[in-house]
């Protein structure tokens, strides 16, 4: 686990220092929460992560789930963990008081999930998936569905899942084949369907840590329109309640547990539905609206995927930092030959690797909490269309930057350990494996890139990018208010402005390309554009944090540890602007000069 002071301090700093143009004070958009009460929530979550989730970290990886007699067996600690999370109200935290929740704001929930995922990513996903499924039922399900399924889900007794993928229909959900046939009986069966099909890659899709598993499944009602317009959403439990309230088999069969590179503590399963013509699903909301409903869970899940990647990168960074402070090896190049070896953190290249890791982890954390702030403002005032556009624009970055850069960050953590990092003597090799799935979960990097370039940037004639530019300009203006003190904020602000100008110029180049060669050429290198865009957005976040850190340092009577913390923030910000932001230039050149060579490659050229 990360050092308590550092993790709590960073969380508090990034949450409480979110600046905004929307004139909503932090205690206001966080409802009844104040910085003091928020810190208490952090402390309670940290204690739970340290005492309940983290002790299972290695064991869940070493002894992954197994399919035994049709049931998936998971680590023995999963059931008591979910019972604790349910009894103590963590799963229901964001729900209204009528469901024994606390109306917890999104930004605070993201922080809690960050703490849990830092402690043990595999363990943290069980409750997160249940919460997402329960939210869908609350948002779109009938009163009967809510009263039947929400209490056991929120109590941690039942597991919720999201079942989308099929063997022949992955990201292309319009091609899914799972069928729903209406029951032709009396009024009591209204909204009930027989379900037939197969789903794969279902996180926590079955396990013995709960009494029941409730799948939120996308299927096509018999006779529905083709494509995405014919998709409906169903609740399909492993065991369905009968008229007397007893649980009976619902013809949901686990076909396999996938063996994974990492993230091994949570089972990923395949299921078959309706083999015995007795699988009943319950329609959620209206027919053919399923994909729109599911996107509520998917969009939130994209932020959660980004936060999970951020958490793993953070845990790996702190492991590397602790090791570099204690591992003694080598001497400065200017030291006498007989000088004593020094801790490797004294070597410049090691410090560079640590700065890179911290810049990725804390920059990503800041961006995701920025998105959480927009969610909270929208929850309080749905009419804030600017916030909606900004959230839409930034979600692909919040999902992808920590996922892609987290792979490089955890790799750098391994490098800090040297040969030990490649072995299971230390946790960073597991962090590296656990990290890899995040670029795939909830839409691959390529899908996120095409969504950004092909949809988000052109919404309302590009207004979202204009709003983001205003946010960045506000951060630049705030940075210029400090007295010049050789800390480089004014130069950072200028560099951010140049980065935005470069991005706009690149967009113009791509726009001309779209007019000349069509949309396929426009989107050919979308992933490179997303990478470029992500660097700029994280630079904005680091300028914001540098501004907050400098404001704190300008206060009087700071404690020494606080002074070191804020000076460290400024140092990492300077690193990001000096080492990472310039990478935009190379990406811009490639985007302008690539000639979309991938479009003209022949399959036969990929030969031995």
Q: Which residues are catalytic?
A: 442
Looking at the DSSP assignment, which residues form a beta bridge with residue 270? 256
Interatomic CA distance for residues 591 and 583, integer angstroms: 13
Residue 506's nearest CA partner among 453, 547, 545, 464 is 453
Of 228, 265, 295, 544, the residue nearest 431 (C-alpha): 265
Burial of 572 (0-12, 13-18, 19+ CB in 10 A): buried
Distance CA(546)–CA(479), nearest Å, equals: 8
Distance between CA 4 and CA 322 in Å, rounded?
A: 13
Q: What is the torsional sign of CA 406, 65, 267, 102?
A: negative
Closest listed residue to residue 234, CA positions, set 245, 224, 248: 224
Nearest to 569 by CA among 595, 590, 546, 588: 546
SS3 assignment, position 23: coil
The burial class, CB within 10 Å (0-12 / 13-18 / 19+), for 330 is: middle
Q: Please tell me the distance from the alpha carbon of residue 551 to that of residue 491, in angstroms, as a whole number.
A: 17
Query: How many CB atoms are closer than 10 A to CB 265?
Result: 30
Q: What is the DSSP letter of 22?
A: S
> In sequence order, which residues have a C-beta less than 8 Å from that of residue 433 and are 6 or more positions away?
61, 261, 262, 263, 264
CA distance 42 to 55: 19
Residues in Cβ contact with 589 at an 8 Å cutoff, skipping those fewer than 6 apart: none
- CA 242 from centroid of its chain's CA atoms: 37
Q: What's the CA gap between 272 and 198, in Å, rounded? A: 4
Query: Kind of pairing, strands 268-273 and 192-203?
Result: antiparallel
DSSP output for 93-153: TTS-GGGT-----HHHHHHHHHHHHHH-HHHHHHHHHHHHHHHHHHHHS-HHHHHHHHHHH
Residue pair 221/230 in contact (Cβ under 8 Å)? The answer is yes
Distance of alpha carbon 240 from alpha carbon 233, whole angstroms: 17
Contacts of 483 (CB under 8 A, 6+ apart): none
Among 531, 536, 512, 513, smallest CA distance to 587 is for: 531
Q: Which residues contact 242 (CB under 8 A, 6 or more apart)?
A: 248
In total, the chain counts a number of residues equal to: 608
């Amino acid at each position: 686990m990360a050092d308590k002071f550092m993790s709590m301090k960073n969380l508090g700093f990034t949450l409480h220092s979110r600046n905004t143009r929307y004139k909503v004070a932090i205690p206001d958009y966080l409802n009844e929460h104040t910085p003091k009460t928020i810190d208490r929530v952090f402390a309670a979550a940290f204690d739970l992560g340290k005492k309940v989730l983290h002790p299972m970290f290695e064991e869940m990886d070493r002894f992954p789930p197994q399919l035994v007699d049709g049931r998936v067996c998971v680590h023995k600690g999963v059931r008591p963990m979910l019972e604790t999370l349910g009894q103590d109200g963590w799963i229901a935290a964001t729900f209204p008081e009528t469901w024994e929740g606390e109306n917890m704001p999104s930004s605070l929930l993201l922080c809690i999930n960050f703490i849990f995922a830092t402690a043990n990513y595999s363990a943290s996903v069980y409750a997160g998936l249940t919460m997402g499924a329960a939210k869908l039922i609350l948002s779109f399900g009938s009163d009967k569905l809510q009263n039947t399924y929400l209490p056991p889900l929120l109590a941690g007794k039942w597991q919720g899942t999201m079942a989308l993928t099929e063997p022949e229909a992955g990201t292309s959900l319009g091609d899914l084949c799972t069928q729903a046939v209406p029951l032709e009986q009396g009024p009591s069966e209204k909204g009930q369907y027989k379900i037939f099909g197969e789903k794969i890659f279902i996180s926590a899709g079955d396990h013995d840590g709960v009494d029941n598993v409730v799948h939120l499944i996308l299927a096509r009602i018999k006779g529905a329109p083709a494509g995405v317009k014919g998709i409906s959403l169903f609740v399909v439990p492993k065991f369905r309640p009968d008229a007397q309230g007893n649980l009976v088999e619902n013809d949901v069969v686990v076909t396999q547990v996938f063996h994974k590179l990492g993230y091994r503590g949570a089972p990923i399963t395949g299921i078959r539905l309706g083999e015995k013509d007795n699988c009943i699903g319950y329609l959620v909301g209206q027919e053919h609206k399923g994909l729109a409903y599911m996107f509520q869970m998917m969009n939130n899940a994209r932020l959660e995927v980004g936060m999970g990647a951020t958490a793993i990168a953070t845990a790996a960074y702190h492991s590397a930092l602790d090791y570099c402070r204690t591992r003694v090896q080598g001497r400065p190049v200017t030291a006498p030959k007989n000088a004593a070896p020094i801790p490797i953190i004294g070597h410049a290249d090691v410090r560079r690797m640590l700065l890179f890791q911290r810049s990725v982890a804390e920059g990503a954390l800041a961006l995701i909490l920025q998105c959480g702030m927009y969610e909270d403002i929208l929850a309080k005032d749905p009419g804030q269309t600017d916030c909606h556009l900004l959230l839409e624009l930034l979600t692909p970055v919040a999902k992808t930057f920590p996922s892609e850069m987290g792979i490089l960050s955890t790799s750098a953590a391994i490098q800090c350990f040297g040969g030990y990092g490649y072995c299971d003597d230390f946790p960073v090799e597991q962090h590296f494996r656990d990290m890899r799935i995040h670029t795939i979960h909830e839409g691959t990097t390529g899908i996120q890139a095409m969504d950004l370039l092909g949809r988000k940037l052109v919404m309302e004639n590009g207004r979202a990018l204009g709003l983001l530019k205003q946010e960045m300009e506000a951060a630049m203006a705030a940075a210029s208010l400090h007295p010049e003190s050789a800390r480089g904020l004014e130069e950072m602000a200028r560099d951010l402005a140049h980065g935005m100008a470069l991005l706009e110029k690149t967009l113009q180049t791509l726009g001309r390309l779209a007019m000349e060669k069509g949309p396929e050429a426009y989107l050919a290198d979308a992933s490179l554009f997303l990478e470029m865009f992500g660097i700029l957005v994280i630079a904005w976040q680091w300028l914001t944090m540098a501004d907050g850190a400098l404001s704190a340092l300008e206060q009087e009577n700071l404690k020494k540890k606080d002074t070191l913390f804020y000076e460290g923030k400024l140092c990492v910000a300077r690193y990001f602007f000096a080492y990472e932001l310039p990478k935009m230039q190379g990406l811009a050149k490639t985007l302008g000069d690539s000639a979309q060579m991938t479009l003209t490659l022949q399959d036969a050229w990929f030969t031995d």
